[in-house]
Structure 1
Amino acid sequence: MYQSLKSDTLPSTPTGPALRPVNDGDQRYDRRAAPTSGLASITPLLVLGWIRRYWFIALGVAFLGTVAGLAAAILIPPRYTSSSDILLDPNDLHLLEDDIYSRAATGESQIIEVESRMRILTSASVLGRVVDTLGLASDPEFVEPGAAVGADARIAALRALGDRVKASREERSYIVTASAWGHTPEQSVILTDAVVNAFLAELAGADAQGASAASAELNQRLLELGNEAAKAETAVVDYRRQHGLSLASNDQLSTQSAVEINVQVDRARQVLIDAEARYAALVSGQTGSDAQGSTTLSELRAEYAVARQKVESLSATLGSRHPTLSAAAAELAALQNEIDNELGRVVEVAQNDLQRARDVFDQLKNVAAAQSTDVFTDETAQLELRQLERTATSAVAIYETYLTRARQTGERSQLNTSTIRVISPAFPPLVRSYPPRTVLLVAGGLFAGLALGLVLAAGLGLLGMLMRPLPKVAIQRR
């Protein structure tokens, strides 16, 4: 069969009248057409013949591929990857009415916030926490012994850890998967848990640090506002003291005094009118008890009327010189004298009361006139005082607002309002993630070696055909 295959590789000798034997000088070799005609004559059967001829090469390369796959499965350090799912909910707990952190309102903003937090998961800050917590800077698996020390060793460990940690997120989902690989299943779980814990601590620390920084700024500003409010209130107190405006109410002291004095003037005027009327009644000789206003005088007049009636009764029955009538007449005269004395005293008292009422009225009129001048003087001072009070009130209101906000911000730094939580913790993987299983590596090496061996066998057969000398072909000249 090999003989038949070899004969197929040679071009057939042309026969017929178109070709004729010629001398060596007339013969021409078709060196250009020969290769073309040789490649065109390759058939599947010819290729199978080549493979059968060099079958040992194909089997040898397949064996080497199998050995290479087995060696790779044995020599390559295994990698075990564990993962943990984290829910990055952008809607934090709303514990305060006016929180210092704004909340994402739209879906796109929430996705951006989730993407940003996912980037924090693999940031140097989070990985640095893991390096410090696990002491990876001194681990020869992450830092070659003697290659770096101190800060350089930490950076080298940070870079090595960064190559092992990955973070991914499914589309239209807030769930982020954090994964890390190690050379043992336990190591991969330790790394994954450390990364997740460092991530949660970093978010909580950043939140608290932001609130603490804001609280510190508010407290610094609070001191300045407190000083300004104290100065404004001191200015109000000093101005009140200087201008005698000591009332806490909005009414002016001078105005209140003027109103009270005017009331007193009206009362004094009424008292003066009553005193003048009483004095005039007494002077005119009116004998009414209301006008005279004396109980003693009324009693004397009543006794005088009884005594007079007695004298008139005795005069009708007795003589003018009768002792009884003379005694009654003397008693009547005594009563008249007492009445005259009492009436004089009442008139004198009324006159004194009238003079006193006039004096009081004149004094109150003078005080009211002076007080009216003070009212206009204090009006200007009151306007300036109200301006100072408005300034002080505004300063105090701003200070109290900042004080309340500073206290809220200080308390906010102690609260963790994050709703981020781990919904799927890391578990030790059952199989390694790299390299593939030994069976797959051996099978892959076998198939790859076999394919390479077949290609190599076919190539050797083709190379042998191309290197074989070509026969001479006589071409008839035209």
Structure 2
Amino acid sequence: MLPLSDLIAALKTRWRLELFIVLAVLTLVGIWIALSPRTYVAASTLLFDEPTVDPVQGTQASGQDGVGAMLNTQSDVIKSIAVAGEVVRNLQLATPEVIERWEAATGGTGDVNSWYGRQLLGNLEIASENASRVLTLQYQSTDPQFAAAMANAFATSYLDMRLKLNTDPARTYSRWFQERTSEVRENLQKAQARLTDFKRETGIVDNRTTDAEIARLGELSNQLTSAEASAAALNARAGSNAAQSTDVQSSGVVQGLRAQIASKAAQVSQMSTALGPNHPDMIATKAELAELRSKLAAEVGNSTRSVRVASNAASSTEAELREKLNAQRQRMLNLSSDNAQLDVLQRDVDTAQAAYDAVAARLQTMRLQSVAPDTNVRQLDPALPPLLPFSPNVPLRLLLGAVLGVLLAVGVALGLELWRPRVRTAAGTADITGVPVLATIDLSDSRASRLLAEAA
């Protein structure tokens, strides 16, 4: 067994051979790399935002049950035929050659964009990290520019599809709500027309009409009470003793005539003591007294008739007010029935108005959602053409080639050394001979080399 020092010296001595072997291996690896088909992978990332406030409705948007489930669902959408077909349309990849291949494979049935998009999906890989809202779209191709273009195209087509999935249902509902709006508007107009016609027929304008009728009923009731009291008093004065009533006896004319009669009666009494009954003055005075009494009787009769006329007028007024009160009560009964019908018609209008407002609000919401400009998904990093191929892995192959070359060079050098061993160090000589080395000569010195050559 050669000493380790001799083996190390042998490796140093055969460095040219070792370098040649390493370079040869690296050359073969380079040829292998050059002959291997290159495959490039371009990556684009999509960020799914946290659920936020809906910009249209102003409410908290509900999220998925879990990030993993949401990302798996969106991965399936990205790898769908619909998205792949949009990629082919957007990039106009359906060239005549592709169409010819499609016709040869399918006989011209189906859609060439979907057919070619299904083939493109074979080179698309989608990856995601755990508990992350980022999806990575990786596309593999022999052309780095095409790989980057396809990764970006799939990301863009998915974003367009995501927006379309959000807006298309809103457009459908918008059309449906537009039709419902026409229906509920017509119902509201009919309900309002019925209410207006009923108000016109009954004369009810609003609640103030009822209040006015109630006030009128109260006023008539008060007037009737006063008229009843007044008529009762006048009827009492206009009874059988109307001439003795206060109204007649307190009349100024009656009291004046009574005073004149009393004065004439006193004058007749005085003259009766001095004059005889046939005396002209006595006869004239008695005639004046009789005339005064006749005027008193006539005036009492006139006053009595006035009291009776006032009593009759009060009774007529009482009867008229009672008739008006009864008519007002009947009108209030009719008005109560009309108000009940009015309430029903008003509730119909309120219900139709509420339905119209609700449908109109939903229509406005659907219209806004149908033109929403964005979703909660963003393209975080666009794909760039890769500088190094994904396959073959040049750095890895070069590293493996270097390691293999070094191992092969060391193995060849050690194999040659073991096949034809040489003494290369003093320690090795001492180990082989068992005799200690007394001195060493450095052959790298040119003078020592010449002396050794002359001695030989």
TM class, shorter-length: 0.5 to 0.7
Query: For the residues of structure 2 that align with 1:431 and 1:65, how far apart are their CA atoms?
Result: 19
Aligned pair in 2 of structure 1 residues 364, 98: CA closer, same or farther (>3 Å)? same
User: Do the aligned residues in 1 keep the contact of 2:44 with 2:381 (CA within 8 Å)?
Assistant: yes
Alpha carbon RMSD of aligned pairs, Å? 5.4
Query: For the residues of structure 2 that align with 1:270 and 1:442, how far apart are their CA atoms?
Result: 125
Residue matched to 2:150? 191
Residue matched to 2:166? 207
Out of 96, 115, 122, which is 2:72 matched to? 115
C-alpha displacement of 1:174? 0.8
Residue matched to 1:165? 124
Residue matched to 1:268? 224
Matches within 5 A, 1:449-468: none
Question: What is the number of equivalent residue pairs in this alignment?
Answer: 373
Matches within 5 A, 1:377-456: 393-416=350-373, 418-437=375-394, 440=397
Structure with the higher helix share, 1 or 2: 2
Query: For the residues of structure 2 that align with 1:169 and 1:439, how far apart are their CA atoms?
Result: 25
Query: For the residues of structure 1 that align with 2:131 and 2:399, how far apart are their CA atoms?
Result: 40
Out of 277, 297, 301, which is 2:233 matched to? 277
C-alpha displacement of 1:309? 9.5
Query: For the residues of structure 1 that align with 2:37 and 2:369, how far apart are their CA atoms?
Result: 48
Residue matched to 1:73? 33
Query: For the residues of structure 2 that align with 1:98 and 1:246, how far apart are their CA atoms?
Result: 46
Q: Which amino acid counterpart does residue 120 of structure 1 have in structure 2?
A: V
User: Do the aligned residues in 2 keep the contact of 1:272 with 1:358 (CA within 8 Å)?
Assistant: yes
Residue matched to 1:4? none
Spell out, residue by residue over 1:261-295, the C-alpha distance to the aligned partner (whole angstroms, 9 max, x if none): 6863663354134123124325534565xx46x9x
User: Do the aligned residues in 1 keep the contact of 2:238 with 2:311 (CA within 8 Å)?
Assistant: no
Out of 67, 89, 92, which is 2:49 matched to? 89
The 3-state SS of whatever aligns with 2:94 is helix
Query: For the residues of structure 1 that align with 2:244 and 2:57, how far apart are their CA atoms?
Result: 85
Aligned pair in 2 of structure 1 residues 257, 442: CA closer, same or farther (>3 Å)? closer
Residue matched to 1:177? 136
Residue matched to 2:81? 124
Q: TM-score, normalised by structure 2?
A: 0.60
Spell out, residue by residue over 1:59-79, the C-alpha distance to the aligned partner (whole angstroms, 9 max, x if none): xxx989965x54553345533
Residue matched to 2:306? 346
User: Do the aligned residues in 2 keep the contact of 1:82 with 1:427 (CA within 8 Å)?
Assistant: yes
Aligned pair in 2 of structure 1 residues 385, 302: CA closer, same or farther (>3 Å)? closer
Query: For the residues of structure 2 that align with 1:331 and 1:338, how far apart are their CA atoms?
Result: 10
The 3-state SS of whatever aligns with 2:51 is coil
User: Do the aligned residues in 1 keep the contact of 2:128 with 2:136 (CA within 8 Å)?
Assistant: yes
Query: For the residues of structure 1 that align with 2:27 and 2:99, how far apart are their CA atoms?
Result: 36
Query: For the residues of structure 1 that align with 2:372 and 2:252, how far apart are their CA atoms?
Result: 94
Aligned pair in 2 of structure 1 residues 402, 156: CA closer, same or farther (>3 Å)? closer
The 3-state SS of whatever aligns with 1:136 is coil
C-alpha displacement of 1:162? 1.8
The 3-state SS of whatever aligns with 1:147 is helix
Out of 90, 97, 103, which is 1:133 matched to? 90
The 3-state SS of whatever aligns with 1:162 is helix
C-alpha displacement of 1:169? 0.5
Q: Does 2:101 correspond to 1:147?
A: yes
Q: Which amino acid counterpart does residue 358 of structure 2 have in structure 1?
A: T
C-alpha displacement of 1:135? 1.2
Query: For the residues of structure 2 that align with 1:194 and 1:146, how far apart are their CA atoms?
Result: 23
User: Do the aligned residues in 1 keep the contact of 2:234 with 2:308 (CA within 8 Å)?
Assistant: no
User: Do the aligned residues in 2 keep the contact of 1:93 with 1:417 (CA within 8 Å)?
Assistant: no
The 3-state SS of whatever aligns with 1:86 is strand
Q: Which runs of 5+ in 1 are unaligned?
A: 1-61, 455-478
Q: Which amino acid counterpart does residue 131 of structure 1 have in structure 2?
A: V
Q: Which amino acid counterpart does residue 309 of structure 2 have in structure 1?
A: V
C-alpha displacement of 1:90? 4.8
User: Do the aligned residues in 2 keep the contact of 1:126 with 1:202 (CA within 8 Å)?
Assistant: yes
User: Do the aligned residues in 1 keep the contact of 2:40 with 2:390 (CA within 8 Å)?
Assistant: yes
Q: Which amino acid counterpart does residue 169 of structure 1 have in structure 2?
A: S
Q: TM-score, normalised by structure 1?
A: 0.58
User: Do the aligned residues in 1 keep the contact of 2:54 with 2:61 (CA within 8 Å)?
Assistant: no
Query: For the residues of structure 2 that align with 1:145 and 1:247, how far apart are their CA atoms?
Result: 78
Residue matched to 2:430? none
Q: Which amino acid counterpart does residue 387 of structure 2 have in structure 1?
A: L
C-alpha displacement of 1:165? 2.7
Query: For the residues of structure 2 that align with 1:249 and 1:439, how far apart are their CA atoms?
Result: 92
Spell out, residue by residue over 1:206-250, the C-alpha distance to the aligned partner (whole angstroms, 9 max, x if none): 111122122223333444445555566667778x589x7664768
User: Do the aligned residues in 1 keep the contact of 2:139 with 2:151 (CA within 8 Å)?
Assistant: yes
C-alpha displacement of 1:202? 1.5
User: Do the aligned residues in 2 keep the contact of 1:92 with 1:418 (CA within 8 Å)?
Assistant: no
Aligned pair in 2 of structure 1 residues 302, 444: CA closer, same or farther (>3 Å)? farther
User: Do the aligned residues in 1 keep the contact of 2:77 with 2:83 (CA within 8 Å)?
Assistant: yes
User: Do the aligned residues in 1 keep the contact of 2:234 with 2:311 (CA within 8 Å)?
Assistant: no
Identity %: 18
Spell out, residue by residue over 1:116-171, the C-alpha distance to the aligned partner (whole angstroms, 9 max, x if none): 12322232222222222221112x8xx55842468764345313432333221101
User: Do the aligned residues in 2 keep the contact of 1:65 with 1:446 (CA within 8 Å)?
Assistant: no
